[in-house]
Amino acid sequence: MALEEKPLCVVLIGIPYSGKSTFVSEHAWLSQLARISFDEEVLELAHGDYSKWAEVAQQAGLNIDEKQNALIQAKRSFLIDKTNVSTLEREKLIAELQSHGYQTVAIVFEPPEAKELKRRIQKRSDKIISPEVITQMHRNFESGKADLFRQFDSVLFVSQNKTITVKK
């Protein structure tokens, strides 16, 4: 199978409020891919009430897994918009994608500085994620960055000023 014929999976990696969903909405080539979004799944299950995140998060994760598996079986290109900060979480996904001949691209979003993060949290008052959860995700993000180059075919970094750097 030639490289051009392989399906593509773009995985967005970054803590909440790092700009993943905004980035997708600003780049037409990404919005053309089938999209799996954790936030959208949560909002659907919670009937638009993000304060019910904790109640529906587990089911949202299961639903995303089902959708992802269906896209992989159909060999469709797609984008995964969720945090994906844990190396362990990504390992299973990458193994599955590679076994089905996918090209894999990580788009990695650097976490915003504390002041900017606080501003974004306040701006999205409908999206309630505890500071402890965000701190843990930030730790997982930092500790898993080195593994990205081993896991993905290509890795792009997006800085907070939206500069894109291709690292692999």
pLDDT per residue over 22-46, tens digit each? Answer: 888 888 888 889 999 988 898 899 9
Instruction: List the one residue out of 166, 144, 146 whose CA is nearest residue 157.
Output: 166
Q: What is the value of pTM for the model shown? A: 0.82
For residue 70, the SS3 value is helix
Instruction: Kindly state which CATH superfamily the domain 3-166 is placed in.
Output: P-loop containing nucleotide triphosphate hydrolases (3.40.50.300)
- The pLDDT assigned to 167 comes to 66
- Residue spans of the domains in the chain: they are 3-166
Which of 25-34, 73-82, 112-121, 131-140: highest mean pLDDT? 73-82
What amino acid is encoded at 77 in this protein? Answer: S
Whether 102 and 72 have beta carbons less than 8 Å apart is answered as yes
Interval 59-67 mean pLDDT? 93
Please, where are the H alpha helices in 19-130? 20-26, 28-31, 38-45, 53-73, 87-99, 114-123
Report which of residues 139 and 70 the model is more confident about. Answer: 70
- The pLDDT assigned to 52 comes to 82
- The pLDDT assigned to 67 comes to 96
- Express each pLDDT in 107-124 by its tens digit: 999 888 888 778 877 777
Range of weakest confidence among 74-83, 136-145, 150-159: 136-145
Q: Which two tokens stand for residue 13?
A: 């990696």
Confidence label for 4 from pLDDT (cuts 50, 70 and 90): low
Who's near 8: CB < 8 A, 6+ residues apart? 33, 77, 78, 102, 103, 104, 105
Range of weakest confidence among 9-18, 106-115, 140-149: 140-149
From CA 40, how far away is CA 48, in angstroms rounded?
A: 9
